[in-house]
Structure 1
Amino acid sequence: MIRYALLALLLALPFAAQAGAPVALKAEDVPALLKPPAHGVRVLALWGLDCAYCESNLRALQKLQRAHPREIEVITVATDSMTESAALEQRLHAAGVAALPSRAYADATPERINYLIDPDWGGELPRTLIIRADGSRSGISGQLTQAKLAAIP
């Protein structure tokens, strides 16, 4: 019995090592990302490696999601290139949010992805995009306050 448990653990190690690794986000992937959830709210947490408030926003959104696991889905989206995936993964682990699903830009024209995600967004970070089940959307730029967080669910 112990041998089977050890074998299962050894087989799972390569997948565990990838926890927190961002998945490539290309322009053609954006419509699926923006599709309204069946219920509740999908939150896209846009962040970058050189962003001062991004880590605190990511932690706050993870805490909010954990408080409302059935109503809120949080996906982190790094506006940095997938070529920086090791640094992105390291930053997510350091922030304690590596368990959240994460994406990173993998398109030759990041401005196009910005526009596809939110045409009203000027590229400032952090940016929080809230997509509700009814199809409505709203965006918040800058650091999330308690009042802004309370308005999400």
Structure 2
Amino acid sequence: MRRLLLAGALAAATPAFAAPPVALASTDVKALVAPPAKGVRVVALWALDCAYCEENLSALLAWQRRHADVDLVFVATDGIGQREALTARLKAAGLDAVPSRAYADATPDRINYLIDPTWGGETPRTLVIRADGTRKAFSGALSAERISRLVN
């Protein structure tokens, strides 16, 4: 009985894994890119076939851990039909604790445009949205210095 209680206590103390990516339809984009109530929202756009994406996501997660006012969201430009592959990739890279979305429309270019009308769809893409409504965006590999210039 004690072993059973101990096993139950350990299971309860173990943090749950983050949920797999949630579907992102064009009707959801307005809320995603709305200015946060305070601080900064960083939307990190990535894809399974992107060479620099994991490095960017890791760098952004490290930045967020040092800056409590940063709301970080990962958005995969791959379709939600690839949820298992997306989840496995994030988990393998230790990035599965961040809220994640994946495209769910038949027209991904429409979602790209709604997220950022100046974006051509290349990944990685980082969009920074401040509480005052101002935005900055960057395509390509991120360094700590680049993140600092984007977010500050």
TM-score normalized by the length of structure 1: 0.89
- Give 1:46-61 correspondences, 5 Å limit: 46-61=45-60
Other structure's SS at 1:139 match: strand
The aligned counterpart of 1:101 is 99
Kindly report which structure 2 residues correspond to 1:100-139, keeping only aligned pairs within 5 A, or say none.
100-139=98-137
Identical columns (%): 56
The SS at the match of 2:138 is: strand
Report the TM-score when normalising by structure 2.
0.89
Structure 1 residue aligned with 2:16:
16
Aligned CA-pair RMSD: 2.3
SS for the counterpart of 1:37 is: coil
Separation in structure 1 between the aligned mates of residue 132 and residue 7 of structure 2, nearest angstrom: 45
Q: Please list, as runs of the form range in 1=range in 2, the aligned pairs for 1:55-94 lying within 5 A after superposition.
A: 55-69=54-68, 71-94=69-92
Q: Secondary structure at the match of 1:138?
A: strand
What is the one-letter code of the residue matched to 2:84?
Answer: A
Question: Residue type matched to 1:26 in 2?
Answer: A
Q: How many angstroms apart in 2 are the aligned matches of 1:67 and 1:87?
A: 29
Output one character per residue of 1:52-82: Cα deviation in whole Å (capped at 9) or x when no partner: 000000000000000002x101100000000
In the alignment, structure 2 segments of 5+ residues that lack a partner are none
Do 1:20 and 1:92's aligned partners in 2 also have CA atoms closer than 8 Å?
no
- Structure 2: distance between partners of 1:67 and 1:144: 16
How many Å separate the matches in 2 of 1:8 and 1:65?
Answer: 29
Shift of 1:145: 2.0
- Shift of the 36–5 alpha-carbon distance from structure 1 to 2, 3 Å rule, reads farther
Q: Give the deviation of 1:147 after TM superposition.
A: 2.0
